[in-house]
Amino acid sequence: MKKFLIIIILILIAIGFFKYKNIIIKKIYYPKTEVTNALINNYNIYGRSFNIEGVLNKEINKNIVKDISLVLHTKEKNIYFITKYEIKDNKLLFKTNDKLNDGIILDNINVGEYYLLLNITDTNNKNKYYSLKNNTKFNNLDYYTITKNNNNKYITIKPVTYTLKNKKQYHFKLNVMNKKLPKQYYDIVIDPGHGGADPGTVDRGIYEHKEALEVAMSLKNQLTELGLKVKLTREGNYNPGGSWKDPYYINGRVNIPGNIKAKYLFSIHLNNTPYKMKKGGIEIYAPTNIDYSLAKLMADNIVESAKTTYSPNGLYKVSSGVYNRNYTKEEIKDNKDESIAKGVKPNEITTSTTYHYIIREPGGLMMKAYVDGRNPKFHKNLYCYSNIGVESYLIELGFISNDYDFTNIKNNKLGYVNGIKNTLKTYLLDEL
């Protein structure tokens, strides 16, 4: 009788095991992919955008390719992303986009665990999926989405390796979780230009460092009211780096945005010119290789809200009020001569390197940051060789040498502040 009972119990345990074995032994799901891996040669996060670039070394018949896409794959569903590609010498080269802020927008991905795959759709609408193998020196990335309704998502991006049927397999995994933004991290950095030993431009009793700080503080308050977490690079008349020429200290304005995982940086400045201008107006400086929709919207909103104009300056102009300024050949030569005279290795600057350091340096390697510690005059930019970047803009509110701008900046700061605030509300909080 006892024996019989034991057998019954064992049978019940066995049934339970087979029924719930997926729960008892946690089974990891792997997607079915082709034997060949696609190689990832570059990946980075810039602002809210995840950018990835790679190659599939496999003979591909151009004539049967209908479409190429990157796919976020779970067992239940596929999310497809438009992918740029070309087939060259039997190789398929692919990337999320040419523009740094227009790849896969991380904030738009729902909570879940995803594999990132490359998909080739042929002319018969048949899909072939390839897993991605990391071919860079970079490893894991993590990201907090912009604070929206007091909520954030936390995203980890990991190249993973595992063995299946004695064969090494490679994948890129994205894990999206609900998690509040930790205390030390922020959404946005506002940088009031200059400060300390550097007053910026001065005209008829107006100091750039002072006006910029007032605008920045007011902007911080307005954005905080929208629920965004905002940090200023300075809150008084000092240089956050502690030294007037070195913004690369650990707490210098270049390193702050990266240290606090900010997605955006806006630097506030005032313009001045010895030339007589009939009209002043705003200039927003942006990086070269990005999509300009945020900068354009901001220029339009500031003009409307602050009752100002677009700057008449035509040099480096992208569109009304939007500019990108790179190093000129003369500046590259000067920089080289100066480096040689000082006995340091010249920086790798080209005419496609952004001129304004506050735009270039928090952007890391993909924005061609170049202060890597070789010049003893400066500390090292901590994010020089990183694959994270802060989307950075420099806003010249107006020309204090111009009478209209002078009065407007002095008396109508809220007009400028609201223009910037409304833009970020539309761009970061209202969409989706």
Contact residues for Zn ion, defined by CB under 5 A? 193, 200, 269
- Complex with Zn ion: residue 200 or 280, whichever CB lies closer: 200
Closest CA to 393 of 428, 359, 351: 359
CA 190 from chain centre, in angstroms, equals 15
Give the single-character DSSP code of 239.
-
Which CB, 118 or 190, lies closer to Zn ion?
190
Nearest 5 degrees, angle CA 23-CA 28-CA 32? 135
Q: How far is the CB of 241 from Zn ion (least distance, A)?
A: 16
Name the residue nearer to Zn ion (CB basis): 209 or 231: 209
Rounded to a whole number of angstroms, the minimum distance from the CB of residue 270 to Zn ion is 6
Helix axes 403-411, 413-424, angle to 10 degrees: 70
Number of helices (H), then strands (E), in the chain: 9, 22
Nearer to Zn ion, 47 or 193 (CB): 193
Contact call for residues 340 and 334 (beta carbons, < 8 A)? no
Least distance (Å) between residue 394 CB and Zn ion:
8
- Name the residue nearer to Zn ion (CB basis): 200 or 281: 200
- Least separation, in Å, of the C-beta of 228 and Zn ion? 24
Whether residue 364 contacts residue 378, with contact meaning beta carbons closer than 8 Å, is answered with no
Bridge partners (DSSP) of residue 399 are: 271
Least distance (Å) from Zn ion to the CB of residue 205? 17
Min dist. Cβ of residue 366 to Zn ion (A) = 25
Q: Which is nearer to Zn ion, 47 or 200 (CB)?
A: 200
Pick 103 or 200: Cβ nearer Zn ion: 200
State the nearest-atom distance from the C-beta of 355 to Zn ion, in Å. 13
Beta strands in 305-356 (DSSP E): 317-319, 322-323
User: What is the CA 203 to chain-centroid distance, rounded?
Assistant: 35
* 429's tokens: 């909080």
Residue nearest Zn ion (C-beta atom): 269
CA distances from 353 to 141, 289, 300, 330, 332 (A): 25, 10, 26, 13, 10
C-alpha 364/C-alpha 350 separation (Å) is 16
